[in-house]
Amino acid sequence: MSWVVDSSLTYCQKFCINVLKCGPIPRHVAFIMDGNRRFATKKHVEKAEGHTKGFDKLAECLQWCMEFGIKEATVYAFSIENFKRSKEEVDTLMRLAREKFKVLFEEKEKLMEEGVCIRVIGNMDLLPDDIKENIAKTMLLTKNNKTVFLNVAFAYTSRDEISNSVKTVVQGVKDNKITINDINKELLKKCLYTNLSPDPDILIRTSGEVRLSDFLLWQSTNTQIYFADVLWPEFTVWHLMACIFKYQRSYYNIEKFKEYNNNVRCKNSYISEFVEGVHRERLELLENYVK
- The CA–CA distances, whole Å, from 170 to 163, 175, 180, 222, 225 equal 11, 9, 8, 27, 32
Fold of 11-157+197-267: Undecaprenyl pyrophosphate synthetase (3.40.1180)
pLDDT score recorded for residue 261: 43
- The CA–CA distances, whole Å, from 29 to 43, 201, 202, 259 equal 29, 6, 5, 15
Show Cβ contacts of residue 55 under 8 Å, excluding neighbours closer than 6 positions: 1, 96, 100
pLDDT score recorded for residue 256: 57
pLDDT score recorded for residue 55: 87
Show Cβ contacts of residue 45 under 8 Å, excluding neighbours closer than 6 positions: none
pLDDT score recorded for residue 186: 93
CA 81, 83, 86, 89 dihedral sign is positive
How many degrees, rounded to 5, is the angle at CA 90 between CA 88 and CA 94? 115
- H helices of the chain, in order, are 11-20, 36-43, 47-68, 87-106, 108-114, 129-142, 158-174, 185-190, 237-254, 269-290
Secondary structure letter of residue 200 according to DSSP: P
pTM of the model: 0.91
Helix axes 237-254, 47-68, angle to 10 degrees: 50
pLDDT score recorded for residue 262: 45
Nearest residue to 151 via CA among 124, 129, 122: 122
Cβ atoms of 129 and 291 closer than 8 Å: no
Cβ atoms of 228 and 33 closer than 8 Å: no
pLDDT score recorded for residue 279: 94
Per-10-residue mean pLDDT, the chain, length 291? 71 95 96 93 89 88 94 96 91 89 85 92 94 93 94 97 97 95 94 95 95 96 94 96 94 63 61 93 93 71
Cβ atoms of 181 and 148 closer than 8 Å: no
- The CA–CA distances, whole Å, from 99 to 5, 106, 126, 236, 243 equal 17, 11, 18, 25, 31
